[in-house]
Amino acid sequence: MKNNRIISIIMITIILLLIITSIGILSNTIRLETIKKANMYEIAKSADSLNSNIEESTDVSNENIADGNEEQISDATNIQELRTETINNDSNISSRSEVDRQQVVQDQQDTNSEVTLVEIQDIQPEEAVQYTKLEDVKISLDMDVSKTTGLSKEDFVSLVQNMRYDKTGILEKNAGWIWECCQTYSVNEIFVLGICGIESAWCSASQHQSTHNYSSLMKGGKLIQYASDEAGFEAMIKLLGQKYLTPGASLYHGATIAGVGRCYCNATTWPKKVYTCMQQVFQ
């Protein structure tokens, strides 16, 4: 009996130890699962915070890019307006020709988000221009002076360089600029040279040189003062293009030398004198 009792106590003790061990193992398992879940929650929370920061950074970058593009557009507009004001002493004159530019929106994608960038670029492809040969340029007293010669810039500059009447070299110096203005405002280049020939004796008259006004543009009975030769030539060509040679304009009486002469000077002697100077360009 005594041995059976001892055996029972030992068995009970072993069972209790097994129970206690099982409880300990279960508690450790539960604790580890709890810790694991907590760690996963912290990781998920950190990931959400990181994504949020990335999105905010992307938004700020987009805003900065857009602001930068708007500043470039504004700068380009201000430069064009400033240039127009500089060359135009007559506040009633406005440009007839505008440079067409388009805004192109390009979509760029990164690994996290799609970013839209606005870029300003000229999307017009350069076309092969067929220029008129110098020997093919024709002039006449009744020609349409609202049409350019069709000469290339290089050929026109070469023509002026070889003019024997350009004693001062002013026309040669500004030949490239005169050509560019004539393309912009649709005025015949030889007609412009002819006006300078008759109005300022081929840019040799001192009062015209001091005012940079070689076409006798007047205001208040006096020659208009321009800041530079370039400003004077552009003011002249711009006025011809938009006031004298545009149908419906205030000074338009036909796109001929005589039509311009009706308001520019007179329609009797002035056209023939201008045409004589135009002929001298080719001599």
The secondary structure of 156-212 as a DSSP string is: HHHHHHT-TT--SSHHHHTHHHHHHHHHHHT--HHHHHHHHHHHSTTTT-HHHHHHT
Instruction: Note whether 262 and 178 are same-domain residues.
Output: yes
Q: What is the CATH number of the domain that holds 164?
A: 1.10.530.10
Distance of CA 113 to the CA centre of its chain: 30
Q: Which position has the higher pLDDT, 162 or 46? A: 162
Average pLDDT, whole number, for the chain? 77
Backbone phi and psi for residue 111, each to the nearest 5 degrees, phi listed first: -70, -20
Instruction: Note whether 81 and 141 are same-domain residues.
Output: no
Is 118 among the domain residues? no
Q: Which position has the higher pLDDT, 89 or 147? A: 147
Tokens (6 digits) for 252: 């338009």
Asked if 174 and 233 count as a contact pair (C-beta separation under 8 A), the reply is yes
Instruction: Note whether 161 and 269 are same-domain residues.
Output: yes
Instruction: Note whether 140 and 64 are same-domain residues.
Output: no
pLDDT score at 46: 56
Instruction: Note whether 211 and 273 are same-domain residues.
Output: yes
pLDDT score at 13: 81
Residue 129: pLDDT band (50, 70, 90) is confident
When mean pLDDT is compared across 50-59, 95-104, 109-118, 208-217, the lowest value belongs to: 95-104
Residue 86: pLDDT band (50, 70, 90) is very low
Is 6 among the domain residues? yes
Is 110 among the domain residues? no
Instruction: Note whether 84 and 158 are same-domain residues.
Output: no
Is 125 among the domain residues? no
Instruction: Note whether 143 and 259 are same-domain residues.
Output: yes
Q: Are strands 114-121 and 102-109 parallel, antiparallel or unpaired?
A: antiparallel
Q: List Cβ neighbours of 227 (8 Å cut-off, separation of 6 or more).
A: 86, 212
Domain boundary among 26, 60, 92: 92
pLDDT score at 139: 96
Is 119 among the domain residues? no
The radius of gyration computed from the CA coordinates of the chain, to the nearest angstrom, equals: 42
Instruction: Note whether 216 and 266 are same-domain residues.
Output: yes
Distance CA(147)–CA(241), nearest Å, equals 10
pLDDT score at 115: 40
Distance of CA 103 to the CA centre of its chain: 10
Instruction: Note whether 53 and 143 are same-domain residues.
Output: no
Is 100 among the domain residues? no
Is 107 among the domain residues? no
Is 167 among the domain residues? yes
Residue 125: pLDDT band (50, 70, 90) is low
Asked if 232 and 244 count as a contact pair (C-beta separation under 8 A), the reply is no
Instruction: Note whether 54 and 154 are same-domain residues.
Output: no
pLDDT score at 15: 83
Instruction: Note whether 248 and 140 are same-domain residues.
Output: yes
Residue 227: pLDDT band (50, 70, 90) is very high
| Number of other residues whose CB lies within 10 A of the CB of residue 234 | 24
| Mean pLDDT of the region 77-95 | 41
pLDDT score at 41: 59
Domain boundary among 92, 116, 146: 92
When mean pLDDT is compared across 72-76, 99-103, 122-126, 180-184, the lowest value belongs to: 99-103
Tokens (6 digits) for 176: 């490239």
Distance CA(150)–CA(260), nearest Å, equals 21
Distance CA(227)–CA(223), nearest Å, equals 13
Measured distance between the N- and C-terminal CA atoms of the chain, rounded to whole angstroms: 151
Residue 20: pLDDT band (50, 70, 90) is confident
Q: List Cβ neighbours of 263 (8 Å cut-off, separation of 6 or more).
A: 244, 251, 253
Asked if 194 and 229 count as a contact pair (C-beta separation under 8 A), the reply is no
Query: pLDDT for 235-260, tens place per residue?
Result: 999 999 999 999 999 999 999 999 99
Query: pLDDT for 22-74, tens place per residue?
Result: 777 776 666 766 666 655 656 556 556 555 554 555 454 445 444 554 544 44
| Mean pLDDT of the region 14-26 | 77
When mean pLDDT is compared across 38-52, 144-158, 206-220, the lowest value belongs to: 38-52
Tokens (6 digits) for 133: 């040969």
Distance CA(254)–CA(62), nearest Å, equals 54
Instruction: Note whether 72 and 147 are same-domain residues.
Output: no
| Mean pLDDT of the region 193-205 | 97
pLDDT score at 25: 75
Domain boundary among 92, 119, 151: 92
Distance CA(167)–CA(202), nearest Å, equals 8
| Mean pLDDT of the region 153-169 | 96
Domain count, the chain: 2
Residue 14: pLDDT band (50, 70, 90) is confident
What range does the domain containing 87 cover?
2-92
pLDDT score at 59: 53
